[in-house]
Amino acid sequence: MFRSLVCLHSALDGAFFWEQRAVAIARLVHWQLRTTSLYSFRRSIHRIEKGLATRPRREVFAADYIGETVAFLGLLAEAYEEGCTEYREDIAWGATALRAYFAAVKGEDRVEHAREAFQRLALPAGLVANGGEGGVVRPKMPEYGFGIADLLHLARTRHSIRDYLDRPVPRDVIDAAISVAIESPSACNRQAFSFRVFDEPDLVREVAKIPIGIDHADHQIPVLVVLVGNLGAYPEPRDRHLIYIDVSLAAMAFVFGLQVQGVASCCVNWPDIHEREKRMQELLGLASTERPVMLVTAGYLDPEGFAPSSAKRSLEEMRVYNRTVAGGSAHRAGDRVRTP
């Protein structure tokens, strides 16, 4: 009975149809462009690095995709020579990992063919991967100028602000916060998202009309950022939620990056409503595989304004150690309120 109700709800609720349609289109685009996709290349290089970092290391790995990875590195190198310098880091990263790979893996026919192709590549001179040596790094825990108490203070003093001063936010401040967000983890380091930043008042007002909840305050938002995920980076339906996870990780880093520079912010929910999704896609010129995930407003705090206190749940409510279900539903003594 329950499964029947779920199926009926899925059939009647159009939101599920549009999500499934978006995932289907993204899968088709991904497989059509698989060998010419920067996202696929980044995923492959990351998988190679994981293979290099695994102990004990397998004698042969990545043989199924090493050939197309080398071929795409060649395409990037050609594009770089033609002036596409934005691929600089990808080329340096990929070449560094592949050199380490071919030094470690030998003998398999597909690997040897790819090695020969790699040796024939005309790679740009002087490109060095940022941080990586031999395709992997030996991480060290550095000394920081702050501790957990400082980080907790940052988290507790951040509020969702909706009252901003009529004062522009310098773009270098926004860019610095985005640079922090770029360092966030993402699935196979694909970073399949982008920050669409609006700081011209007319454009801010136009974009702010689309989501729910900020259209009434569009006149006092100095900066509005739309975080967009690209489903086309993922080959399987199981990956359909990764854009939401990756964007959320980046968004929190972005918000903290703003906060420490004295810029307040507010995360804005993006409703899964097809009409609004279509309007945002048309306004921003998004590809069919791209979906808005959330928005963030930013500006300088109005000292005369207010913000919700947003009391947080206690550590004891939110944290559970080593609890499993054995012989029935797990519960705590004294539970009175259950969360479904």
Other beta carbons within 10 angstroms of residue 201's beta carbon come to 15
At 211 the pLDDT is: 94
At 13 the pLDDT is: 60
> With contact defined as beta carbons under 8 Å apart, do 195 and 254 qualify?
yes
Give CA–CA dist 15/38, Å, rounded.
30
Give CA–CA dist 134/120, Å, rounded.
20
> With contact defined as beta carbons under 8 Å apart, do 42 and 63 qualify?
no
Give CA–CA dist 188/94, Å, rounded.
14
CA 270, 157, 308: angle at the middle one, nearest 5? 55
The partner residues of 292 in beta bridges, in order of sequence, read: 228
Who contacts 266 (Cβ-Cβ below 8 Å, separation ≥6)?
A: 160, 161, 162, 296, 297, 298
Q: Where are the alpha helices (DSSP H) in the chain?
A: 2-12, 14-32, 38-53, 66-81, 88-104, 109-120, 148-157, 171-182, 201-208, 242-259, 274-284, 315-318
Sign of the alpha-carbon torsion through 317, 318, 323, 328: positive
Give CA–CA dist 196/292, Å, rounded.
10
Which of 277, 282, 255 is closest to 266 using CA atoms?
Answer: 255
Around 83, how many Cα atoms within 13 Å sit in the side-chain half-sphere?
Answer: 0
At 37 the pLDDT is: 82
- For 148-299, the fitting CATH number among 3.30.70.3040, 1.10.3720.10, 3.40.109.10, 3.30.930.10 is 3.40.109.10
Q: Where are the domains of the chain?
A: 33-120, 148-299
DSSP 290: E
At 288 the pLDDT is: 87
Give CA–CA dist 85/104, Å, rounded.
30
Give pLDDT < 50 ranges for the chain: 5-6, 8-9, 333-334, 339-340
The two structure tokens encoding residue 247: 């964007």
The two structure tokens encoding residue 236: 């399987």
At 5 the pLDDT is: 46
At 6 the pLDDT is: 46
At 260 the pLDDT is: 97
At 60 the pLDDT is: 96
β pairing state of 223-230 and 290-299:
antiparallel
In Å, the largest CA–CA distance within the chain is: 70
Q: Cα–Cα distances in Å, from 91 out to 37, 105, 177, 339?
A: 14, 21, 25, 48
Q: What is the pTM of this model?
A: 0.86
pLDDT per position as a tens digit, 102-129: 999 999 999 999 999 999 999 988 776 6
Who contacts 291 (Cβ-Cβ below 8 Å, separation ≥6)?
A: 22, 228, 229, 230, 231, 243, 277
Amino acid 133 reads E
Long-range contact set of residues 150-154: C-beta below 8 Å, sequence gap at least 24: 154/256, 154/259, 154/260
